[in-house]
Amino acid sequence: MIKKDQETQDWMAERLTWGWLGRPPDAVVKCRGEIWEAWAELSKRAKAVADMRYSKAKVQAAKNIGERRQQLINHAEKVLNDK
């Protein structure tokens, strides 16, 4: 039980520091610029979706955020590999 409480506290601290999506992958952090701004905006949208009541729209919005998150990560990795 104590471990679960610690995990919850760590999760909350990470969200306070990095936003609702948590700490971005290193590729996103290193890219900054447009990718970083898109990550910050997506994190704000994720918080808004988390605050929604459960519905099909919320599930779809969460799915879209997950897909967009992966697209940003892939794009950041591609940018870093092209340098």
Sequence ranges of the domains in the chain: 2-82
Rounded to whole angstroms, how far apart are CA atoms 69 and 54? 21
pLDDT digits (tens), the chain, 83 positions: 566 788 888 877 877 777 888 889 999 999 888 999 999 999 999 999 999 999 999 999 999 999 999 999 999 999 998 87
* Residue 18 CB partners (closer than 8 Å, separation 6+): 24, 43
The three-class DSSP label of residue 19 is coil
pTM of the model: 0.81
